[in-house]
Amino acid sequence: MRMSCDTGGTFTDLVVEDGADILVFKSATTPHDPIEGILNAVALAADHFGLDSAGVLARVDTFLHATTRSLNAVLTGNVARTAFLTTKGHPDVLVIREGGRSDPFDYSHPYPSPYVPRAMTFEIPERIGSDGMVIDPLDEVETIKVLKLAKSRGAEAIGVCLLWSITNNAHEVRLGELIDEHLPGIPYTLSHALNPTLREYRRASAACMDASLKPTMNRYLNGLKSRLAGAGFDGRLLMVTSQGGVMDASVTAAAPIHALNSGPAMAPVAGRYYARRDAGSDFAIVADTGGTSYDVSIVRQGRIPRTKETWIGQPFRGHMTGFPSVDVTSVGAGGGSIAWVDEGGLLHVGPQSAGAAPGPACYGRGGTLPTVTDCSLILGHIDPDFFLGGKMTLDMKAARDALNTAVAQRMGISVEDAALAVLALTTEKMVGAIEDIAVSQGIDTSSAVLIGGGGAGGLNAVAVGQRLGCTSVSIPETGATLSATGALMSELYGEFTRTSFISSQMFDPSAAKVIIDDLKAKSQTFIAQYGHGSISNTIEIAVEARYPKQVWEIEIPVSNTDFGDPDALPALIKAFHDEHRTLFQVSDDGSGIEIIAWRAYVRCRLRQDRRSDVLVAERKIDLSRKIYAKEIGWIEVPVRRTDEMRPDEPLVGPALVESPFTTVVIDAGATVTRTVAGGLIVQL
């Protein structure tokens, strides 16, 4: 048995893989103690199996976990007081950043503060050149004085980024030894070991961010391991990473920056699988609607999207992680997003969210502000007596009172029309988020299948798909826990990078072989150390390359790593031209390329793909419910329970399809069918 848990802003999702069966559970997230929410979800699973928590955890061999703990820590500044050590004469790496601005003519925003303030930035007397030669030796006497000064200023963690440590790491390594000797117990991160990328700001930002998270994440992971063990778990704990894979908890604790965007990164993994299974498509728009945000990614040609431009917060105003990660765009349009009217009478949805505490007004936990969930309840989309399968009863009066006070009265419209307006605006925000990605990547959304995930995903997934002109909408049977399900499908992941400049016009096959052999050796070591229990392993080599003198690189997989083969280099150059043309609609096919860095991706597959036949429960009764529709008013529509639908039974909209964890609104003009695997396919 395996368990996967995703701690979200409103609910903690738990997915249990028991042989061929996949079971889904949800419990309220407990912000004051997220581990309590995890154990509550485990208790729900234990009740299902007729066991106590210890009994069910004793059967679990692998526990996978995604959390926003590290992300929230960075966003709120609740991290360790961190010192930044850099080469003498270059203290402004984190201040200058990369010089970008989202709007060069907008001076209304102050210049962003660096991740580590200048008061905690310290210059180390040393210098290494771009060729790896030592220009100024490391002055250890002065360095020890700097370390003591950092400690006197309250340093709780240390990020180290010295110039050109990617070509010669000797000074960074020695600096790490001096920290161990003179500041024992203070965690630190060396940039060349964590992120050996070319650009200084990205290495420095990654090193400081990682170091600042180590005390927080070590406490969290140690607490999680000890409390799971105390509850009866004696298996392997894996953490979800921003790169779309999983790592051992011990590896994540040593480099917690990998867990920054762990939750959203899993939705594309699950979305790719369901798009192939239910729609036979390698082109999918994956939308995961949680309580706080709407997370969107696009899978093309079966490839999980990745980006090197990963910012925490707004681009150029926030902080860059420095690492490639799964490309996910988020907007504040989740089920718990709050509807409000500004002073000019304009309606807004989000980005504020009711979260888990107090939650939407209809939860009856003290919330007084209307949310998207409240509006769906008012419109009849959600059955107040069947929420979470009947385990939670929603308060219709509280929802109506909240929306009436905050929106309807201020806009001079009825509560029902206000709810319609909120849902319509939410849909447009979602469509806008998808169109922004599609335009930037040159994608025609009309040929894609939309994957509707998240507990609130079904409320307007069909409306979003219709607006985009998608071929179909897929609501997987585990769609309400899409990210947690993706973690079960993911692979153990490792990544190794070597920065080394090689031009195709002066290409040295023997130098390339040395680099590739070194990367493969590190990958094999990773497999031997962490890949136990995997059913297969793969090592993929890629390069970061550019046209001569370009500023930015793109990543190209290396299909033939034997550059002794005369066809290997031309094939790589052609692949670069093709990818450049795909991304930017232009290529210089007669030009050579420059390789800046080499990268190895190692993946250990942990499970076989499973497919089970749909289980159909006996239909108890043909249900119906009144919903409020635009320009029509209240109308009676059929309601089906997902587990009672037969695969060959089409249901024409307007209609509703319910499961314990989500409701799918089938708008007019759409037809829904249950697939043989248990999900829903909506033809638009």
Contact 370, 339 (CB under 8 A): yes
Structure confidence at residue 611 (pLDDT): 57
Residues in contact with 587: Cβ distance below 8 Å, sequence separation at least 6, in sequence order:
577, 578, 580, 581
431-482 confidence digits (pLDDT tens): 998 988 887 777 788 888 999 998 888 999 999 999 999 989 999 988 888 8
- What single letter denotes the amino acid at residue 261? N
Cα–Cα distance list, 630 to 121, 379, 398, 463 (Å): 58, 10, 23, 13
| Residue 618: pLDDT over 70 | no
Cα–Cα distance list, 286 to 272, 291, 329, 669 (Å): 8, 16, 11, 22
Give the model's confidence band at 638: pLDDT under 50 very low, under 70 low, under 90 confident, else very high.
Answer: very high
- Tell me which of 314 and 450 has the higher pLDDT: 450
| Helical ranges in 442-508 per DSSP H | 461-468, 482-489
> What φ, ψ does residue 516 adopt, rounded to 5°?
-65, -40
Architecture of domain 2-73+227-263: 2-Layer Sandwich (3.30)
| Residue 572: pLDDT over 80 | yes
Average pLDDT over residues 273-285: 90
Alpha-carbon distance 315 to 326, whole Å?
16
Question: What would the CATH number be for the domain defined by 491-605?
Answer: 3.30.1490
Fold that domain 77-216 belongs to in CATH? Rossmann fold (3.40.50)
Alpha-carbon distance 611 to 618, whole Å?
22
Average pLDDT over residues 326-353: 88
Dihedral angle at the C-alpha atoms of 618, 622, 628, 630, nearest 10 degrees? Answer: 90
Structure confidence at residue 264 (pLDDT): 80
Closest CA to 455 of 26, 21, 16: 26
| Residue 76: pLDDT over 90 | no
% the chain with pLDDT above 70: 98
Q: For all residues of the chain together, what is the average pLDDT?
A: 90
499-512 confidence digits (pLDDT tens): 999 999 999 999 99
| Residue 176: pLDDT over 90 | yes
| Residue 516: pLDDT over 60 | yes
| Residue 610: pLDDT over 80 | no
Tokens of 313: 């917060």
Alpha-carbon distance 289 to 458, whole Å?
9
**What are the boundaries of each domain within the chain?**
2-73+227-263, 77-216, 491-605, 623-683
Residue with tokens 């499908």: 489
Average pLDDT over residues 256-273: 87
Q: Would you give the DSSP letter of residue 617?
A: P
Question: Quick one: the chain helix, strand, coil %, rounded to 5?
Answer: 35, 25, 35
Alpha-carbon distance 323 to 507, whole Å?
27
| Residue 166: pLDDT over 60 | yes
Report which secondary-structure segment, H or E, holds 658.
strand 655-659
